[in-house]
């Protein structure tokens, strides 16, 4: 029997995993209905991989204070450079010109670095209506910690791998940071992860240059061996994903290629996976494109 494994994005720590799973299932069932599928998912039909509290324990539960030109407590210079790289790519993708000098983040230190990051975040708050600097900074912090803290990554990967491994094939739906974690786990040689007929990534940041480079620094980019088919869905307005996982954005060697498709995610910011909009389940998980993929994949013997 084909199993369904769900990996949410960041910002789930401290929340009730059962309620989060219920929101995901409601959204997925909405997508299935809109796709014309008779399939409906119940709690027993999916494994919801909850890593939020583990991640919070690593990065600390306190939210960072507003950034200033004097630096951000708890954010290292390397993390600040990572954040600056992502912020600048977001601004470029949003068509926002910046007045700051075009000095590479790697060349900035001390006050110059903090000033450049502050300017980029201020520009996001002023010119990018679907994103705030606070949301971007929290997102970047979690992604950075996962990708650069080997101990934290090993802890999270072990838990995710244990959830994915099991009897029979597993269809995996991963959102945002969850897609980064899913990729890192699936490209490893973890025992029991040998049959993934379908990987669906929603709003994945893997093609953001700073994220892709950090992923490649851990290990060379390669096709995740257990995966037979990988479909990457994103709303082009989603500024936490920016671009397709194609040969330019996320090049993988070999004959297999990632299938990319644009979808419409109507929620504010266009990035959430499972929420409520106008009293109806909404988000990436609720789009009919996901419903069609699951209807086909879960019918597999």
pLDDT tens, residue by residue, 175-205 = 999 999 999 999 986 666 778 999 999 999 9
Query: In terms of Cα–Cα distance, which of 268, 270, 269, 266 is closest to 30?
Result: 266
Beta bridge partners of 202: 175, 233
285 and 185: one domain? Answer: yes
Residue matched to tokens 């419409």: 264
Structure tokens at 196: 């993934």
Per the model's pLDDT, the better-predicted residue between 194 and 173 turns out to be 173
What gap in Å lies between CA 211 and CA 85, rounded to an integer?
9
8 Å CB contact between 281 and 30 = yes
Give the confidence band of 19 by pLDDT, cuts at 50, 70, 90: confident
Last residue of a domain, one of 131, 147, 163: 147
Last residue of a domain, one of 91, 124, 147: 147
206 and 238: one domain? Answer: yes
User: 87 is in which domain, residue-wise?
Assistant: 77-147
119 and 196: one domain? Answer: no
What pLDDT is attached to residue 103?
82
Structure tokens at 138: 């929290």
83 and 155: one domain? Answer: no
Which of 64-78, 98-112, 121-135, 232-246 has the highest average model confidence (pLDDT)?
A: 232-246
156 and 286: one domain? Answer: yes
Residue 65 lies in a domain: no
What is the CATH number for 253?
3.40.50
Cα R_g (the chain), whole angstroms: 19
Segment 272-298 mean pLDDT: 96
What pLDDT is attached to residue 192?
66
Q: How many CA atoms lie within 13 A of 43 on its CB side?
A: 6
The one-character DSSP state at 65 is P
User: What's the domain count of the chain?
Assistant: 2
Residue 68 lies in a domain: no
Query: In terms of Cα–Cα distance, which of 196, 160, 194 is closest to 3?
Result: 196
pTM of the full structure? 0.90
Count the neighbouring beta carbons within 10 Å of the beta carbon of residue 209. 14
Beta bridge partners of 275: 282
Query: In terms of Cα–Cα distance, which of 98, 88, 84, 89 is closest to 242?
Result: 89
123 and 267: one domain? Answer: no
Structure tokens at 254: 């070999």
What pLDDT is attached to residue 62?
46
Mind listing the pLDDT tens digit for each residue in 205-244? 999 999 999 999 999 999 999 999 999 999 999 999 999 9
221 and 129: one domain? Answer: no
210 and 279: one domain? Answer: yes
Percent of the chain surpassing pLDDT 90: 56
Give the confidence band of 99 by pLDDT, cuts at 50, 70, 90: low
207 and 283: one domain? Answer: yes
139 and 227: one domain? Answer: no
What gap in Å lies between CA 131 and CA 270, rounded to an integer?
9
Query: In terms of Cα–Cα distance, which of 2, 4, 1, 292 is closest to 163?
Result: 4
What gap in Å lies between CA 58 and CA 56, rounded to an integer?
5
Last residue of a domain, one of 147, 182, 209: 147
181 and 198: one domain? Answer: yes
Q: For 8-86, list the strands marked E by DSSP.
A: 46-48
184 and 125: one domain? Answer: no
């Amino acid at each position: 029997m084909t199993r369904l494994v769900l990996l949410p994005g960041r910002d789930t720590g401290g929340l009730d995993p059962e309620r989060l799973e219920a929101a995901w299932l409601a959204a997925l069932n909405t997508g299935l209905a809109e796709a014309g599928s008779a399939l409906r998912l119940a709690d027993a039909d999916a494994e919801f991989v909850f890593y939020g509290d583990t991640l919070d324990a690593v990065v600390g539960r306190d939210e960072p204070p507003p950034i200033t030109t004097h630096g951000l407590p708890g954010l290292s210079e390397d993390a600040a450079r990572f954040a600056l790289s992502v912020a600048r790519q977001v601004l470029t993708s949003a068509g926002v010109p910046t007045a700051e000098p075009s000095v590479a983040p790697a060349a900035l230190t001390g006050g110059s670095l903090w000033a450049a990051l502050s300017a980029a975040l201020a520009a996001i708050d002023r010119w990018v209506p679907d994103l705030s600097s606070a949301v971007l900074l929290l997102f970047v912090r979690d992604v950075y910690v996962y990708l650069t803290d080997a101990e934290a990554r090993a802890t999270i990967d072990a838990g995710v791998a244990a959830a994915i491994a099991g009897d029979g094939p597993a269809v995996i739906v991963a959102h945002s940071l969850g897609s980064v974690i899913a990729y890192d786990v699936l490209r490893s040689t973890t025992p029991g992860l040998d049959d993934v007929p379908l990987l669906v990534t929603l709003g994945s940041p893997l093609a953001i240059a700073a994220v892709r480079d950090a992923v490649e620094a851990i290990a060379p980019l390669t096709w995740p061996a257990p995966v037979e088919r990988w479909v990457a869905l994103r709303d082009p307005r989603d500024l936490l994903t920016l671009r397709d996982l194609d040969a330019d954005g996320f090049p993988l060697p070999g004959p297999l290629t990632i299938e990319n498709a644009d979808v419409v995610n109507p929620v504010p910011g266009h990035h959430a996976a499972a929420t409520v909009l106008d009293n109806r389940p909404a988000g990436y998980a609720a789009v009919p494109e996901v419903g069609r993929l699951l209807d086909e994949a879960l019918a597999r013997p």
